[in-house]
Amino acid sequence: MRTLAPQTIDTLNASMLTIVQLVYMEFPGFPVALNSANRPIAYNSVMYEGAAGLGSVGAVEDSSGEVKGLQFELSGVPIEYMALALDDAAIVQGTPVTIRLAILDAVGQVIEAPIDWIGRMDTMSIQEDGETCSIAVTAESSAVDLLRGNALTTSNADQQFLYPGDRAFEYVASQAGTPVVWPTKQLFMAMR
């Protein structure tokens, strides 16, 4: 259980509560930080530019047993973001994305910003109709990694890879399939 600071509790109990989404996309050498308000917001030494009305972030839906991705869209895109969307897919795919729900105080400063969603970008596409242009991004939740199998086995080679010099699985291959015969109770009776 997490305890909250007194200032956070006071803000949550106030008559008016302001919460914004902070979206941080960690492109190599070109991080993009946006927020759902209409002004820049600073958090953890990062300036999140205001993008209110310029885009949308899909609802973060949590459900047990199902891992859902996320889709967000940004319209009225600056030219440097357009170049990023047109660039090689290797830059976009796998880029870490973090979405936080920031609780703001009365003067608009971030009090708390717990992580709401973490994942990696999958695709980025440009949609245009001749007059307007927007970038649509799909992202995969990092929880998908929990559904993937483990590539390592209980073999000596994998054990040596993880812990060089450990001989715990050295004889597993030679002992596999060898029947284990337990003595009968007559043997123990005869030993008396």
- Same domain? 97 vs 13: yes
- Same domain? 32 vs 125: yes
User: pLDDT band for position 43 (50/70/90)?
Assistant: very high
Strands 55-57 and 70-75: antiparallel
121 domain residue, yes or no: yes
85 domain residue, yes or no: yes
- Same domain? 138 vs 160: no
pLDDT in tens, 75-121: 765 555 566 566 655 677 888 999 898 888 888 888 888 888 888 88
Looking at residue 184, what is its pLDDT?
81
- Same domain? 126 vs 175: no
Strand partners for 117 = 99
46 domain residue, yes or no: yes
- Same domain? 62 vs 134: yes
Query: Domain residues for 21?
Result: 6-145
65 domain residue, yes or no: yes
> Averaged over 2-29, what is the pLDDT?
79
79-88 long-range contacts (CB < 8 A, ≥24 apart) are: 80/30, 81/32, 81/135, 82/126, 82/133, 82/135, 84/27, 84/30, 84/32, 84/124, 85/124, 85/125, 85/126, 85/135, 86/126
67 domain residue, yes or no: yes
Percent of the chain with pLDDT over 90: 6
- Same domain? 65 vs 89: yes
- Same domain? 17 vs 105: yes
Q: 149 versus 100: which is more confidently predicted?
A: 100
pLDDT in tens, 50-81: 877 666 666 666 666 666 777 877 776 555 55
Helices (H) and strands (E) in the chain, counts: 6, 10
User: How much is the mean pLDDT over the chain?
Assistant: 79
- Same domain? 105 vs 170: no
- Same domain? 72 vs 106: yes
- Coil/strand/helix, residue 106: coil
Q: Token pair for residue 79?
A: 């030219």
1 domain residue, yes or no: no
180 domain residue, yes or no: yes
Looking at residue 164, what is its pLDDT?
93
- Same domain? 164 vs 141: no
pTM listed for this prediction: 0.65
Number of structural domains (the chain) is 2
- Same domain? 96 vs 160: no
Strand partners for 189 = none
151 domain residue, yes or no: no
- Same domain? 122 vs 165: no
Q: 149 versus 95: which is more confidently predicted?
A: 95
